[in-house]
Amino acid sequence: MDRTPELGDIVEGYCERCRLNLDLSVAVITEGIVKQVQCRTCNNFVPFRAVEPESVRKERVFKRVLNMRDRKTSRSRAAAEAQRNAAAAATDSAATASASIQARREARARWETLTDGVDSTRALPYRPQRGYSEGDFILHKAFGMGYVESTSKPESDTPPQTALVVFRTGERQLPINQPSDD
Ligand SMILES: [Zn+2]
């Protein structure tokens, strides 16, 4: 530019908003020096910066790409980490679920073994007021046939108050020897 720049002149410079060398209109001149320009691409008023040399531009772009790649890598690392954690949690809950399924299966198998060939007429109808002993078969209205595995230890002269009964659906603690209502 040979002549003194004037407001509104189109100059080539670097727009820090567009991050490009672009045509800019001169907006502020102080003592013959262009201070501020308006980018004709983004319309922002930006401080005037001379055209960025190609080598500088290339290096900057290269750095930006590297940064982006780093960010992407750490992002994907974080994502992978989160995925691993989620997978671990899923495995844990699956293990818990399969453990409880396993426990149920075992309980069922145990019940089948215990009650195999037991005539239900031998089973005693369950009533909380009644007393039962280990090895008894009982018939519960809700849980079906059960095997009395143990009874709570009687304290001195009091009869056991609960029985641990194996039902098809699992073990249950039932009250026994309860005082009668009438
Ligand atoms: Zn711009």
Listed by start position, the domains of the chain span 10-52, 120-175
pLDDT in tens, 132-141: 999 999 988 8
At residue 36, the pLDDT reads: 96
CB 172 within 8 A of CB 165: yes
pLDDT in tens, 76-94: 888 888 888 888 887 777 7
The residue count of the chain comes to: 182
Order across the sheet with 162-167: list the strands.
124-125, 137-140, 144-151, 162-167, 170-175
At residue 2, the pLDDT reads: 61
CB 76 within 8 A of CB 47: no
Lowest mean per-residue pLDDT among 46-50, 59-63, 166-170: 59-63
Q: How far is the CA of 61 from the centre of ligand 1 (A)?
A: 17
Helix ranges (DSSP H) in 45-148: 54-115
In sequence order, what are the beta bridge partners of 10?
A: 25
pLDDT in tens, 56-77: 877 877 787 777 777 777 778 8
At residue 83, the pLDDT reads: 83
Q: How far is the CA of 69 from the centre of ligand 1 (A)?
A: 25
Q: How far is the CA of 105 from the centre of ligand 1 (A)?
A: 71
Q: How far is the CA of 36 from the centre of ligand 1 (A)?
A: 12
Evaluate if pTM is beyond 0.75.
no
Q: How far is the CA of 70 from the centre of ligand 1 (A)?
A: 27
137: helix, strand or coil: strand
Q: Taking 60 as the threshold, does the pLDDT of residue 1 lie above it?
A: no
